[in-house]
Structure 1
């Protein structure tokens, strides 16, 4: 038989069936023969019965032949593998795993329709008949997983006495607005728990009344309206006004305040010209791939790492510091590249470079403080006042500082001191006293320290009397100091009442790298109501960063190709991604 005749005998389904040869040498295309078992079948342009035969009788042989035909596998199929199929329980478990994967890693639901993923699962399962679950099935599983995880969060909130919230608004690529709210608490084992509560769509304008109603609705939905202690937001006027209408303490985001202070200080100092030149040079390379490649070549020639320059963005924290650091680190390569090009850029003078170097030095502590306050897996509220105290020392002008640095530092200290009055200073002072790392209150003036212990004393009295501790307010006058009650008393009842507080004050401070919650876990039984206050105050985050991280997740979910996602699905996917990554 020649090549032409051989090709004509190849039947349907990529040669798995062959056309029957008549005795006279002609080909009968109405009858096909299985290439595996030689069984004959009638063929009238339909492959249904042929496919059924392969799936029923030659499962692994069908997979092996297909793999060899496509070059995807060189392994010969073994006899024990013939007829092997995935069990129903395994299929169900795999479907649940796919749903968790989609939710946790922000994958689009439509990924289950990808042919490549389908083939990958068939090869991994050694089952060519396996079909990925449909989009509806995956979304149904996601809803079930969300319900189970939500019940766990509701149980955790139900047994907690104090819950702190953070919240903010975000606008998606489809121009829809969402409110994100996260909860923060210390559980019975003295572990700090932070997790999403909701990412709900809003349609009203962000007036203070509307924002207050939205936060109130979230607390009622989760049945924690009587347990919420604080709500953390940025310092936007509508958020501040909304917080005044809520029965919770408002703790503005310390990182927002710090970054605003940096911006104001830069505007009032003499760094404008140097920063403007630096931005234009960086923009020159950012907008020209050819110039960037030339810069990389110069970096390689100088033995430096190939890294792009960074452009500062007014809304991105520490981006000015990143721009300055990258430029100064690659200044030689930048100048060498610009020397080979024709451009109208004004390069930085030696004095301007010196200014940027000094600015880099003073901005580094600000970056450290911002990153320190932005965590949600450790106690951060009690760090605010020590951090501000540290920045006050760093920014204190010296005789060695040039005039422009004195101007910057003076503007920084003045602006930070003005904003410090609006960060709920009383709440932060109590939290600092209840953190075993900072309970010596060295970050406060000596005249303020006794006042803090007096506040705590009064709250303990109210708690032991069966009354709710008084909520501190900025307008409330300072309580009477009671030095004799704190240090010595002739009354045995007074000694017994104030004993835990006096013993706590006598405890030595722990080291900075140690966890205050671990200390309280080991000593909570000895301090009664004082440990309850610690659980209340130390759970409050210092910034609104935790809820803003939800928006980073939401940005990975609500993309241009997924802009039509229903708001309920957005809430489930964002919350699940946050919950599953926390476990």
Structure 2
């Protein structure tokens, strides 16, 4: 132990750690020093224990270093047992102070020639034998099976949630980190992770989610998407969305993400969805089917006979892509893409762009921005590319002339035109973000968002301050929204969602749509409830004389039994007259 500490004050019994230079008190025992190593320098502590086990030696908990204190055990021995201090040739045991040669104490030579007390009483002692604790007893015990299983699950969850490869368990840095956290935990290998642990955890999770769906789901909306991977393998993903009618909690769960047998035809997609619906016991519970607007998805919906609606965000994407394909707009975007592409491929150009922001614009080194490149399948990436390009306008115009590269020239008028392009596309971008969400209800917002977009783009299309290409872009978007969302108010599912959302109610519906929606709601409610007042039959016997006969007769005559239709209609009218809640509030709450 004293290889790792040095005495700094013999009178006060103070020792200094050789690693962190912390001063500790050891006085009559070295337990304080050992605890310090165990808590602050675990690796050193384990090394001492390892050497201890190899040499068959033990370090007593309460001995003192021979030669440091004249009252310690003679020679190089280490005093053992309790807090006793050896005097003369005696060896301390328990809490007593031995003088001369104490009886009943065994002593045996240490490796260095000193004496080490064994703390074992002699044959005449009445007390049960005491075992001296060794340093290895302070180490944490081997993990139990339950503890090992829990840590394995946490490791697998980390790999799944953070999209880490299974090979992380072979990385030296990760292995050292895990060992530092818990030396007794042995990492599973890649094969165990992928073939045993993953399969077991998947089955457990699948059973849990199926149990939740069976217990809580009475009706479900499913969203379906198909795609082909980079290795040309076809996939299908099915997500279910439902509301727990007891807790009114909105939930979304991935039901399936698997290879799709065959090509992406409507028949194959319908078959895969049908098998998933049967596996999850959802037959008769699917009330809505949301996909993109591809013909194969519409064909699958027809085969399954599910109420189908094209994804709102995907429809907005089609509107935007069609508008961005205008020759006046496309030519400008093509120039920007060429410039962005060069900055993405050239490290020198990127370095100059960043340095200009730092040196000339006073941007912090970690806050300097780079350009964004759009992707063909997401129109909003084009908006983000244009927005970032305009934001870095000064840095780009200062950097490009110094690159000695033939990049497209963007005149000042075209820069201003780009700013107006972004102004035109921003409402469409915001609508896409709102309608792409999964953690809150979006169907009731469809009509409201559509009306808002039409109102904005009708004003933009007639704004004479815009350049001609910008006005054409606004008019094209406006026409696209009118064309693709022309029948949105004819979809009873959407209008009912809107009317029953206490944030919007009837304010988003015209009179004709409102009346048809209310009629549908009243008929639906009447079909699932019965009369809640029993029929009154006249009594044959003459009622007894009472002070209350006249008033009860008048009340009974005025309160004739009402039909279910009348009561439901009144309930709907009362709901409609109540105040709407704020737009930020949750309609389920």
Scaled to the shorter chain, the TM-score interval is 0.5 to 0.7
2:21 corresponds in structure 1 to: none
Take 2:319 and 2:438, find their aligned partners in 1: how far apart are those partners?
23
Q: 1:192 Cα shift?
A: 0.8
Deviation at 1:220?
0.8
Cα deviation, 1:529-582, whole Å, max 9, x if unaligned, reads xxxxxxxxxxxxxxxxxxxxxxxxxxxxxxxxxxxxxxxxxxxxxxxxxxxxxx
Distance 1:227 1:268 in 2: 44
Contact map agreement 2:319 2:480 (CA 8 A) in 1? yes
Q: CA deviation at 1:269?
A: 6.2
2:551 maps to: none
Tell whether the 8 Å contact from 1:233 to 1:251 is kept in structure 2 after alignment. Answer: yes
User: Taking CA–CA contacts closer than 8 Å with sequence separation of 6 or more, which of the two structures ends up with the larger relative contact order?
Assistant: 1
CA deviation after TM superposition for structure 1 residue 436, in Å: 0.8
Q: Summarize deviations over 1:133-172 as a string: whole Å, max 9, x none.
A: 2445434233333223222322222232111101111223
| Partner residue in 1 for 2:447 | 385
Alignment check: 8 A CA contact 2:219 2:287 kept: yes
Deviation of the 1:218 alpha carbon: 0.9
**Matched residue, 2:186:** 131
Structure 1 unaligned blocks of 5 or more: 1-52, 62-76, 467-488, 519-583
Q: Secondary structure at the match of 1:395?
A: helix
Query: How far apart are 1:336 and its partner, in Å?
Result: 0.8
Partner residue in 2 for 1:11: none
Q: 1:212 aligns with which of 270, 276, 280?
A: 270
Match for residue 96 of structure 1 among 153, 168, 181: 153
State the shift of 1:57 in Å: 3.6
Q: 2:515 aligned with 1:450, yes or no? A: yes
Give the secondary-structure state (helix, strand or coil) at the position aligned to 1:318.
helix
Change over 3 Å in CA distance of 1:196–1:383 after alignment to 2: same
Distance 2:325 2:147 in 1: 63
Structure 1 counterpart of 2:377: 315
More helix by share: 1
How far 1:513 sits from its partner (Å)?
A: 0.3
Q: More displaced, 289-298 or 414-423?
A: 414-423
Determine the structure 1 residue equivalent to 2:199.
143
Deviation at 1:107, TM superposition (A): 2.7
Matching residue of 2:324? 266
Change (3 A) 1:152 1:126: closer
Q: Distance in 2 between matches of 1:172 and 1:101?
A: 24
C-alpha distance after superposition, 1:383-409 (max 9, x if no partner): 111111111111012343443333222
Residue number in structure 2 paired with 1:412: 477
Partner in structure 1 of residue 227 of structure 2 = 170
Q: Is the counterpart of residue 429 in structure 1 residue 495 in structure 2?
A: yes
Cα distance in 1 for partners of 2:522, 2:139 equals 77
- By how many angstroms is 1:80 displaced? 4.3
Q: 1:498 to 1:339 in 2, by over 3 A?
A: same
Unaligned runs of 5+ in 2: 1-48, 58-133, 532-558
Query: Displacement, 1:422?
Result: 6.2
Task: Report the CA distance shift for 1:435/1:60 in structure 2 as closer, same or farther (over 3 A).
Answer: farther
CA RMSD of aligned residues (A): 2.8
- Distance in 2, matches of 1:445 and 1:433, equals 11
Give the whole-Å Cα distance in 1 for the aligned partners of 2:487 and 2:236.
Answer: 24
- Correspondence for 1:339: 401
Q: In the alignment, which residue of structure 2 is the partner of 1:484?
A: none
TM-score by length of 2: 0.67
Counterpart among 362, 371, 381 of residue 303 in structure 1: 362
Of structures 1 and 2, the larger Rg is shown by 2
Evaluate the alpha carbon distance shift between residue 59 and residue 167 of structure 1 in structure 2; reply closer, same or farther with a 3 A threshold.
farther
Q: Is the 8 A contact 2:288 2:308 kept in 1?
A: yes
- Aligned in 2, Cα 1:422/1:196: closer, same or farther, shift over 3 Å? farther
CA distance in 1, matches of 2:351, 2:587: 49
Q: Is the 8 A contact 1:269 1:408 kept in 2?
A: no
